Structure 1
Amino acid sequence: MHRLRIYGTCNVGAAGTEPREKARQFTPFSAPDSTQVANIAQGKPFENCPIYSTNYYPQYANDASESTTFISHGSVARPWWMVDLLDTNLVDRVEVLPRPGTFAYRFHQVEVRVGSTPRVGEDFSEWPLLGFYEGPYTSIEGRLTFANGTKLCGRYVVVQRVAAQVDLLELADVKVFVDLP
């Protein structure tokens, strides 16, 4: 008769072969997490609300440069910027670098959501929430990471200010990290 005790390690012995004192020790095997993640947002197609001016293009939000900035038009009530990942992915996290400097405080009450279906209008509340940032942002915070621990499956990632007052959405860089196959 075989007896197993599992307390993080177990003693394994066969009846009648060795005394208990000489039983071999085994520890449970757990394979290391081999999942790799990578930023796939750079250069992907995007959609956005109206822009502030032609100096702040929406492609600046995912051009891998921290010196360019997307800025929404000041008349938009819930400004947003969205990237199309072109395929359904398991989103691990989204890193957002708001516009640093004097106007960094404008970045507050921001949601990041992940969707599987194309957008309809400018209400993204049906898409699962990856994370929320209350703010206000200060440049010493650096990149903000939006993640929820369970990961979300989707093709689209939107960054949207959901504050009651009308103000700008200013993004220096957005990275979307997904699990690679």
Structure 2
Amino acid sequence: MPHSALLQQYLSSLQALKAKEQVPVLDLACGHGRNGLYLIENNIPVIFADVKGEILEQVKQSVEMLATDKQKLAHFWQVDFELINAASSASAPDHISPLQNKLFSAIIVFRYLHRPLFEQIKAAIIPGGMVIYETFTEQQALLGRPKNSDFLLKHGELASIFSDWKIVHSFEGIVDVSIQDNTQQAIAQIVAIKPN
């Protein structure tokens, strides 16, 4: 599967952030890393983060096939972003989010939703930095998986979460994923800049 067209559309903005700040992009819940790999190929440093070590190993193998100078732009972080649910447990009263005290020029998130993370994502992006977020909406349950509402955005939810940022792109609707087998997905997208 190719990288997201959103990244291609906003590549120059991400490159400008890199030139100005020298802070990496976080590919949060990176999966097989297709989006982060596209950024690496365009000389943008990326931290690939995922809960699954075996997935990160596959991304490392993909990175190793790139030129040496590009390989140096990739870093890997095995982390469970959903651990913040444990914040109130008696065994970990001082538990903090994995994103706490970390800063990124941008955070990209595709096909992943864990609502307690939104405020941590917003805090972990530098002023003037960018979020690029795309995932499924509730309409997806009518088209296929996922069907669990925990993993599906409500109508207008993504735009509402980033309403205090400068929204440069917002979309919500049904897109054609595969013309060959007539596959569609219901998604929401946002590209937003954090206020300075």
Q: TM-score range by the shorter chain?
A: under 0.3
Structure with the larger strand share:
1
Rg comparison, structure with higher value: 1
TM-score if structure 2 supplies the norm length? 0.26
TM-score if structure 1 supplies the norm length? 0.27
